[in-house]
Amino acid sequence: MNTVLAAEAGSTTARNLTITLFLIFVAITLAITVWASRQTKTATDFYAGGRSFSGFQNGMAIGGDYMSAASFLGIAGIIALYGYDGFLYSIGFLVAWLVALLLVAELLRNSGRYTMADVLAFRMRQRPVRTAAAVSTITVSIFYLLAQMVGAGALVALLLGIKPGTTFLGMDADTAKVATIIMVGALMIIYVTVGGMKGTTYVQIVKAFLLMSGAIVMTLLVLAKYKFNLSSLLGDAADASGKGAAFLEPGLRYGVESGDGLKTFYSKMDLLSLGIALVLGTAGLPHILIRFYTVPTARAARKSVLWAIGIIGAFYLLTLALGFGAAALVGGEAITAQDKAGNTAAPQLAEALGVDFLGGSLGGATLLAIIAAVAFATILAVVAGLTLASSSSLAHDFYANVIKNGQASERQEVNVARISALVIGAVSIVLSIFAQSLNVAFLVALAFAVAASGNLPAILYSLFWKRFNTSGAVWAIYGGLLAAVVLVFFSPVVSGAPTAMFPDHDWHWFPLSNPGIISIPFGFLCGWLGTILSKESDDEKYAELEVRSLTGAGAH
Amino acid sequence: MSTDTPASAPSESTAERYLAVQRSDEFAGLRRTLRGFVFPMTVAFFLWYALYVILSAYARGFMGTKLISNINVALVFGLLQFVSTFVIAWLYSRFANRRIDPVADRIRAEMGEVTHEHGPRG
């Protein structure tokens, strides 16, 4: 346990440095937020950052929005503990961007305005479609938000080295967790209510820059240690894992083969299900979709996705080196001693590298502090994006177009959006505090499954299928959403397994952890069935949507 | 509020204009060109990715074959997914710049200012 985070000598230094660096990040981002608030006058400024960002800036911001703590800490952790299988995640998350690039980004940018529902409701009856879209947007965003905030709470004790029985500023580990959740929640509310989309975008750009820099430095140090020989790094990781060559092959975590044939079958179906949800979920995530509105043209939207693919792809390649580096240099035993899920693998690797390259425990503490501060910055930028997406939908879709029937003034709408951000933030803080003892890792997978099962069918049918109508859109969204949520509720992640949310109860009958393989086709089927069962069809509005989406005529 | 509500649908002449553009040969060509690229490409990358996931689940022996010391097929296959994603993104960008943007710009210019019936917002 010589690389344990709270290694006595470095612990206080690391803690102070982490807090100092984090406070610097907070100070800079708050200054940007205040500056952005002065530039935020219209609804377009608040919702879409005035559509003034360049393709490169938005590409960075997309990276900042997308590379969550789950990617940085989670994937590095899975690779460190289970080897190759963590790579499957990275690949799904990256390939998913081709769906966004080829089918969604530009057409959405041309025909929508502030929210996902602008496109879905374009040629439909407003109220039912916008209500459904708001329900789905808020559901997906809250699932994702809870996972991030609970994750932040869980990490703080580890990253600040607060051990059971010791205190920090008079707080024990449990109090520190609650304090962190409240602080993260308060900061995201400030970013969104004060800075709107402009402030949030800059926070994400700064975070993407910090995260990429941190990952590049660590990767270079890992590779330098192995004289840039990837094969010897892999060999060392495999040896240290105690699993040998199997560590470098798929199958230690997903699609596990056991003596029980049925169990093996379900395990492999689960792997396929996860793979499908990862690749189809991204283009249905509301907080990602609204990022395409922050650029002036479809061409800039295309450029931003191209930059995003470059940045995110590079980042996942780096996490491969970080994960195997942590397996080789820190070792699975030391990692699981800190955190069973492996979430601290990257910070622990930073400490080990610091000891080697910067010299002694002070060097270890320094690099650990930098990476820990980057991890907190990562969480903040992602939760701000999620809060913005859900409050935009609540204000623009539900308040302005459902309650006020499209009669709200611009000022009223933005005020409601700000209040919504406050309410959603407060609700998330309370829910996260109650959920913090639960295993919430499945919430991100659930968010992807709902996005792929409900939102994606509705978006694709809207853009490409002339016959699609109100009933089809409503059926697709509610059908996909319900299928995903119900299947997860009756799956082993909620009950009936030792790692479940309720390990002592068992009401599960659905054998897979990820519902995608059933719920995604079900969502598409619902959208088709709902459409053909209704006579509604509006050729004129479809002509307008199609011409606008393909040519950019009349784009906002 | 917004003009994208049927309640405040554009005037008849605007609606007719959109229908006319949609039915024009030029627009039909644009749609055919775009769909002719993105649909087959989507099917192709999805099948390629599905092949990778299926092999990871059911062809463990093949994926574990070592190529050069510790570098196995699984790693190379995974890295090829990165390469194919980058290449498809680059191909699409080249295609859209050459074949889509000029036509879209031309159609938009022909439609003129008539489509901007949104008022001061947006």
Label residues A95-114 b or e (16+ Cβ within 10 Å = b): bbbbbbbbbbbbbbbbbbbb
pLDDT digit string (tens) for A479-537?
A: 999 999 999 999 988 888 888 888 889 999 999 989 999 999 999 999 999 999 999 99
- pLDDT category at A434 given cuts 50, 70, 90 is confident
Question: At what angle are helices A126-159 and A173-225 packed, to 10 degrees?
Answer: 80
**CB under 8 Å to B27, separation ≥6 — which residues?**
A547, A550, A551, B21, B107
Tell me the H-state helices in A356-489: 360-392, 410-435, 442-450, 456-464, 470-489
Name the pLDDT band for A11 (thresholds 50, 70, 90): low
Here the tokens at position A126 are 């407003």
Q: Which two tokens stand for residue A314?
A: 């590079």
Answer yes or no: are the C-beta atoms of A263 and A425 closer than 8 Å.
Answer: no
State whether A407 and B1 contact (CB < 8 Å).
yes
> Do residue B4 and residue A547 have CB atoms under 8 angstroms apart?
no
First to last CA, chain B: 11
Which residues on A lie below 8 Å from B86 (Cβ)?
309-310, 313
pLDDT at B76 over 50: yes
The residue among A370, A375, A366 whose CA lies nearest residue A339 is A375
The residue of chain A nearest to residue B18, with distances taken between CA atoms, is A544
Residue whose C-alpha is closest to residue A297's, from A60, A545, A108, A100: A108
CA distance B78 to chain A (A): 7
State whether A94 and B81 contact (CB < 8 Å). Answer: yes
Number of A:B CB contacts under 8 A? 193
B111 pLDDT above the threshold of 70: yes
Taking CA atoms, what residue in B is nearest to A129? B5
Q: Is the ipTM of this complex over 0.90?
A: yes
Query: CB of A126 within 8 Å of any CB in chain B?
Result: yes
Distance from CA of B12 to the nearest CA of A (A): 10
Residues in A 72-91 with any Cβ partner in B closer than 8 A: 84, 87-88, 91
pLDDT tens-place string over residues A483-495? 999 999 999 888 8
Looking at beta carbons, which residues of chain B come within 8 Å of A524? Answer: none
Bridge partner residues of A502 (DSSP):
A495
In angstroms, how far is CA A533 from the centroid of its own chain?
36
User: B115 vs A43: CB contact, 8 Å cut-off?
Assistant: no
- Residue to substitute from A82, A93, A101, interface B, most B β-carbons within 10 A: A101
> What DSSP letter does each residue of A427-449 carry, written as one string?
HHHHHHHHHTTS--THHHHHHHH
Residues A360-407 have pLDDT tens digits of 888 888 888 888 888 888 889 999 999 999 999 999 999 999 999 989
pLDDT digits (tens, 9 = 90+) for A58-78: 999 999 999 987 778 888 999
B5/A401 touch (CB, cutoff 8 Å), yes or no: yes
Q: Are A98 and B108 an interchain contact pair (Cβ–Cβ within 8 Å)?
A: no
Cβ(A329)–Cβ(A352) below 8 Å:
yes
- The CA distances from residue A412 to A229, A402, A419, B43, in Å, are 60, 14, 11, 45
**Both structure tokens of A140:** 């997906």
Shortest CA distance from B27: residue in chain A: A547
- Reading the block at residue B100, the tokens are 């889509």
> For residue A297, which of B101, B14, B35 has the smallest C-alpha distance?
B101
| A229 touching B (Cβ < 8 Å) | no
Q: Are A516 and A282 in contact (CB under 8 A)?
A: no
How many Cβ atoms are within 10 Å of A64's Cβ, its own excluded? 31
Tokens 């509310």 identify what position? A189
Give contacts of A268 with chain B, Cβ < 8 Å: 57-58
Q: Are A110 and A549 in contact (CB under 8 A)?
A: yes
Here the tokens at position A479 are 């059908």
What's the pLDDT at A9? 43
Per the DSSP assignment, residues forming a β-bridge with A171 are: A168
Q: Is pLDDT at B5 greater than 90 in this prediction?
A: no
Of A103, A122, A250, the CB nearest to B74: A250
Task: Express each pLDDT in B31-66 by its tens digit.
Answer: 999 999 999 999 999 999 999 999 999 999 999 999
Tell me the shortest Cα–Cα distance from B48 to chain A, in angstroms: 10
Interface test with B, best of A62, A460, A547 (most B CBs within 10 A): A547
CA angle A52, A117, A383 (to 5 degrees): 65
Residue A536: closest CA among A479, A478, A477, A473:
A473
Q: Pick the residue from chain B with its C-alpha nearest to A239.
A: B70
Cβ contact A102–B30 (<8 Å)? no
| Contact: B60, A257; criterion CB under 8 Å | yes
Instruction: Look at residue A290 in the predicted model and tell me its pLDDT.
Output: 96
Those of residues 19-38 in A touching chain B at CB distance below 8 A are: none
Please give, rounded to a whole number of angstroms, the shortest distance from the CA of B110 to a CA of chain A. 10
Residue B16: Cβ within 10 Å count: 13
**Is A116 within 8 Å of A286 (Cβ atoms)?**
yes
Structural tokens at position A170? 């008079």
* Tens-digit pLDDT profile for residues B79-94: 999 999 999 999 999 9
- Listed in sequence order, the DSSP H helices in chain B are 12-23, 25-58, 60-63, 73-95, 101-111
Q: Which chain B residues have a beta carbon less than 8 Å from that of A92? A: 49, 53
Q: Do B85 and A94 touch (CB under 8 A)?
A: yes
- pLDDT category at B29 given cuts 50, 70, 90 is very high
pTM: predicted TM-score of the whole model, two decimal places: 0.92
Flag whether residue A317 sits within 8 Å of chain B, measured between CB atoms: yes
A166-211 residue pLDDT tens:
777 778 878 888 888 899 999 999 999 999 999 999 999 999 999 9
What tens digit of pLDDT does each residue of A88-139 get?
989 999 999 999 999 999 999 999 999 999 999 999 999 999 999 999 999 9
Measured between beta carbons, the chain A residues lying within 8 angstroms of B45 are 95, 98
Number of H helices, E strands in chain A: 23, 0
- DSSP state letters, A217-267: HHHHHHHHHTTT-HHHHHHHHHHHHTSGGGGGSTTSSSS---S-HHHHHHH
B26: closest CA of chain A, how far (Å):
11
Report chain B residues whose CB lies below 8 A from the CB of A539: 19
Q: Distances from the Cα of B88 to the Cαs of A62, A97, A109, B95, in angstroms? A: 19, 11, 21, 10
Check CB contact of A308 with chain B, cutoff 8 Å.
Answer: no
- Relative orientation angle of helices A360-392 and A126-159, to the nearest 10 degrees: 170
For A145-154, how does the pLDDT look when each residue is reduced to its tens digit (9 = 90+)? 988 888 888 7
What stretch of H or E contains A72?
none
Whether A309 and B71 lie within 8 Å, measured CB to CB: no
How far A72 CA sits from the closest chain B CA (Å)?
Answer: 18
Measured between CB atoms, does A411 come within 8 Å of chain B?
Answer: no
Structure confidence by residue, pLDDT tens digits, A137-147 = 999 999 999 88
What is the pLDDT, as a whole number, of residue A3?
Answer: 45
Which helix (H) or strand (E) segment holds residue A307: the answer is helix A298-329
The pLDDT of residue B78 is above 90: yes
Distance CA A75, CA A77 (A): 5
> Quick one: how far is CA B84 from the chain centroid?
15
Contacts of A423 (CB under 8 A, 6+ apart): none
Using alpha carbons, list the distances in angstroms from residue A414 to A43, A45, A341, A347, B89: 6, 10, 40, 40, 36
Q: Could you read off the pLDDT of A240-279 as tens digits, one per residue?
A: 998 999 999 999 988 888 888 899 999 999 999 999 999 9
Give the Cβ contact number of residue A422 at 10 Å.
16
Q: How many whole angstroms separate alpha carbon A481 and alpha carbon A489?
A: 12
